[in-house]
Structures are given as C-alpha cells and as structure tokens.
Homo-oligomer: A and B are copies of this chain.
Amino acid sequence: MFNNYNVRVSPKATLGKNVRIGDDSVIYDNVVIEDNVTIAHNCIIGEPLNDYYTNPKYENPITIIGTNSLIRSHAIIYAGNKLGDNVSTGHRITLREYNFIGHHTVIGSSADIDGNVSIGNYCRIYSNVAIAPFSKIGDYVFIFAFAVLTNDPYPPSNDLKGCTISDYTQIASHSTILPGIKIGSNCLVGANSVVNHNVADYSLVLGNPAKIIMDIRKYAILGKGRLYPWMYRFERGMPWENIGYENWMNRDSELR
C-alpha cells in the first residue's frame, strides 16, 4: 500500500514526521499533514473548491489533518477541512469544504459530510451517514448508518438551517433529523425516526413523526437493568477507557 507508486504531493503541501501516503493518492496545495499520519491509497486530500474550475488565480484554502490520524482509502477531503488529532476514517468518505472534525472522532465508510459542519471530539459517524451543511454536533455523539441531518425547511429554499445534536446523544439507523431541529444531550433517537420537534435532554424518541417515549434514564431491559446514560457501561475508544466514566469525570478538568 505504501510503495510510493503514483503518489503526487504538491510542493505547497507540508508533511510532518513519519507520514505515510498510500499509492495513487494525491495531496493538493496548502495541505498540512501533521506527524504520524497515515493516508491510505487512492485518497484525495485538499480537493479544490468549485472556484478552481473557472478562476485562474484560485488559491486552495488550508487543510489540516491532525497528528496520529488514519484516513482509509478512496477518501475525498476538500480543501478547508480541519481534522483534529487521532481522527480515523473508513473508505470513500466525502468531506466537502470547511468542516471541523474534533479529536478522536471516527468517520465511517461512505459518510458524506457536506461542508461547514462542526463535529466534536470522540464522535462516531458510521457508514453512509449524510450530514447537511451548517449542522453542529457535540462530543461523544454516535450516528448510525443512513441517518440524515437535513437543512432545508421548505425545499427548495435559501433559508438553510442546520441541526444541533448535543453531547452523548445516539441517533440510530435511517433516522431523519429535520432542518434546524435541536436534540439535547444524552438522547436516543430510534431507528427510522423523523424528528420534527426539538428534543429535551435524556429523551428516548421514536417514530414518524418522532414522539417522546420516556426519559431514557428509566429505560431498562430484563436482565440488563437500566442502560442509559451509556457512559457507565461503554468505554471502548472513549477517554474514560480503563478508568470508568465516574472516575474520569471526577478528575480535574485539566487532566480530562
């Protein structure tokens, strides 16, 4: 994968130490790849914006791939994206221009993040998720396959309004979040829901249109007990791994 075959790196790109670029990958102007980053094969990093096609004086905006990140093959990452440290992605992701992706966040295969989106730290955006421009996603948010965040309240319009998804919230497969909707923290949106009203913290919502079923803290399964908030029972890849959420929360905020 790393045979330096057909690799093309712009002389205006900046590569840190211990950076590996896979075969057939292209790095455009003004891309900064920090230390210990792996870009797998067939990736395009710093894809030029629309203006490039018609403006001979076009200059590519800065793109940053944070340290220790892994970008799997066939990614298209437009110019203007800023990815934090320890980001990892599946194959064939599309990041349109000017997204901000936090540290330790995972972006699944074929996810489509459509530009001017902000995603926090330690999120997992699974495969085939589509996120419209101007969406804002907090930290520790998980969004599952084929979920969509929309932004046009009465299509077609120019009155685009991104959704807001707060910390620790889980959005199951095939859900649609309607334009401008705010979903609180620690919510669970069930599979195939259509969310057309704002949702308070700690809500379990389901259906088309989505209805509040209960406070998620009361949700229990026979033999398992109460399951939410989930941070007390799930640690893999989270900053409280091997420490426990409670201990981690009780640390000084500087150490977190």
| A contact set with B: CB distance below 8 Å | 1, 5-6, 8, 23-24, 26, 38, 41-42, 44, 47-48, 52-53, 70, 73-74, 76, 91-92, 94, 109-110, 112, 114, 124, 127-128, 130, 132, 142, 144-146, 148, 150, 152-158, 170, 172-174, 176, 178, 188, 191-192, 194, 207-208, 221, 224, 227-228, 230, 233-234, 236
B157 near A234: Cβ-Cβ < 8 Å: yes
B109 near A94: Cβ-Cβ < 8 Å: yes
Determine the chain B residues whose CB is within 8 A of the CB of A23 once the complex forms: 8, 26
Determine the chain B residues whose CB is within 8 A of the CB of A144 once the complex forms: 150, 152, 155
B5 near A5: Cβ-Cβ < 8 Å: no
Determine the chain B residues whose CB is within 8 A of the CB of A150 once the complex forms: 144-145, 172-173, 191
Closest chain B residue, CB of each to CB of A233: B157
Closest chain B residue, CB of each to CB of A28: B1
B109 near A109: Cβ-Cβ < 8 Å: no
B194 near A194: Cβ-Cβ < 8 Å: no
Closest chain B residue, CB of each to CB of A178: B191
Closest chain B residue, CB of each to CB of A155: B170
Determine the chain B residues whose CB is within 8 A of the CB of A152 once the complex forms: 144
Given that A5-B8, A145-B148, A150-B145 are known contacts, is A176 also in contact with B192, CB under 8 Å in the complex?
A: yes
Q: Which of A5, A23, A172, A236 has the most CB of B within 10 A?
A: A172
Determine the chain B residues whose CB is within 8 A of the CB of A207 once the complex forms: 208
Contacts A144-B150, A146-B148, A154-B230 known; list 6 others, CB within 8 Å. Answer: A8-B23, A94-B110, A128-B130, A148-B174, A156-B170, A178-B191
A156 near B142: Cβ-Cβ < 8 Å: yes
Instruction: Give the 10 A-B CB pairs with smallest separation, nearest first.
Output: A176-B191, A192-B194, A154-B227, A155-B170, A130-B145, A156-B234, A148-B173, A174-B176, A176-B192, A145-B148
Determine the chain B residues whose CB is within 8 A of the CB of A124 once the complex forms: 156
Closest chain B residue, CB of each to CB of A126: B130
Pick the contact of A174: B1, B53, B174 (CB < 8 A).
Answer: B174
